[in-house]
Structure 1
Amino acid sequence: MAGVIPAEARPDVGAFLSRLLRLDKAAVIRLVPGVGSTALWGRVPFGVLVVRGLPAVSSRDVTVRAQDLLDALRGDATLPASRDHEWRWLLPPSTGRRIEEIPAAEVHRVAAAAAETARTALDQGVGGRAVGSRRVRDALLDHVPIVVETADGRVEVPQRLVQAVIRMNFVGGPDGPPVSVRRAGPWVALAGAYGTGWHRPIGESLNLQVSPYRPNG
């Protein structure tokens, strides 16, 4: 396959792949060419697509295994064999439009609050009843900690999006640039300085009775 990752992009690509593989050892990466650039798409296990751009390395839309691509970076950085059949998810129709900006420190705070809520729920139960770790995890990921009110209605940002951009280190530190809330059709995104997480809601969120953060409230 034609395509070599340029030397200047390899550290960033390697960091992206390493973080993704820590979350999913079997992850695949889809490379989507654009004008003078290529978007690297992946998917974290809790249902969020993550993407980061880099200089053009592929002339066609192709999927490869993340581990194979990471291994290639340690060699000649040539793109590995395609695994197109392993990509099973739709992509957002566009980069969407920015509807709000959230301070990076607030995104970190929301992520930390979820971790504290999980510890409390596992230690003390919910409503006086013990709950399992998987149930707590699923409830927290579905919880909506950020709500943006627009002229077109509410835009809800679930905790799973917050966790995706934090765990992939797309936000950087608490003192970094603000994180944008974006919308493209039914898709909602958090766009940080180093990458973007996208989520398409498929059902009702679970309610943990936690007051959401409202940027304009």
Structure 2
Amino acid sequence: MTTGHGLDGVADAGAFLARLVRLDPATLVRLRPVPGMDRTALWARLPWDVLVVRTVTGTAPGDVTVVGGELLAELAAGGARLPRRRDDGWRWALPPVASRAVETLPAEDVRRIAAAAAGTLSEAAAHGVAGRAVGQRVLRDALLDHVAVVVTPDDAPDVPVEVPQRLIQGLVRMGFLGAGDVQVRVAGRWVGLVGPYGAAWSRKVAELALKPVSVHPNG
């Protein structure tokens, strides 16, 4: 029996998937129905270790994982079939559902930070750092790890929240910015940027540095 994907927000889902596929044609997308609502959260992992999510109308047939390119092709063709499930391929934990806002950033500031990082990368690639040539991958990784914003929450001033450039790039590259502000949110050991059209989440850098990598079959 053929199972349908259940998505009604085809334009929104298509925009999300198209950006993902440009970054990695083989990327996996996890569909998770939002309890009590006729909506589905689409989750994916970007090549620089950031999880992104966009919620669209329609209810997927349970918690399922498929190849993003295959789902995009099905939607583009006007089809309703769910591509072959790849549930075993999803190996990343998801942030907790409950989160709290710790700061609000103007969208223009986020765009400016992202543009400045892109300019720095281009300049360093062309002219090196301190007169010395540096590999493109080394430059990219250093830039992504750079802390772009530090937030001091009112309820926990001794525990600053660091927003790395990789989160900024995730939000901007996925087209999640709009005219509205961006919320910096914390959920357990995760830090997220939530824009008008979607969110980007990453584990806190300190935890990644101190803990060994572990595999989570499902979030």
After TM superposition, the score normalised by the length of structure 1 is 0.87
Partner of 2:148: 145
Task: Give the 3 Å change call, closer, same or farther, for CA 3–40 of structure 1 in structure 2.
Answer: same
CA displacement at 1:76 relative to structure 2: 1.9
Name the SS for the 2:132 alignment partner: coil
Give the fraction of aligned pairs with identical amino acids, expressed as a percent.
50
In structure 2, what is the Cα distance between the partners aligned to 1:63 and 1:18? 17
Q: Which amino acid aligns with 1:47?
A: D
Partner of 1:162: 168
Q: Does 1:110 align with 2:116?
A: no
Q: Is the contact between residue 7 and residue 60 of structure 2 (CA under 8 Å) also seen in structure 1?
A: no
Partner of 2:33: 33
CA displacement at 1:95 relative to structure 2: 4.3
Partner of 1:194: 197
Uncovered stretches (5+) of structure 2, i.e. residues with no partner: 211-219
Name the SS for the 1:57 alignment partner: coil
Q: Is the contact between residue 181 and residue 188 of structure 1 (CA under 8 Å) also seen in structure 2?
A: yes
Deviates most, 58-67 or 140-149: 58-67
CA displacement at 1:78 relative to structure 2: 2.1
Name the SS for the 1:71 alignment partner: helix
Q: Is the contact between residue 3 and residue 57 of structure 1 (CA under 8 Å) also seen in structure 2?
A: no
| Superposed CA RMSD | 1.5
Uncovered stretches (5+) of structure 1, i.e. residues with no partner: 205-217
In structure 2, what is the Cα distance between the partners aligned to 1:79 and 1:104? 35
CA displacement at 1:57 relative to structure 2: 2.3
After TM superposition, the score normalised by the length of structure 2 is 0.86
The total of aligned residue pairs comes to 200
CA displacement at 1:6 relative to structure 2: 4.3
Instruction: Give the 5 Å matches for 1:52-201.
Output: 52-73=54-75, 74-150=77-153, 151-152=155-156, 153-172=159-178, 176-200=179-203, 201=205
Partner of 1:51: 53
Q: Which amino acid aligns with 2:33?
A: P
Q: Does 1:15 align with 2:30?
A: no
Q: Is the contact between residue 7 and residue 56 of structure 2 (CA under 8 Å) also seen in structure 1?
A: no
Q: Which amino acid aligns with 2:14?
A: G
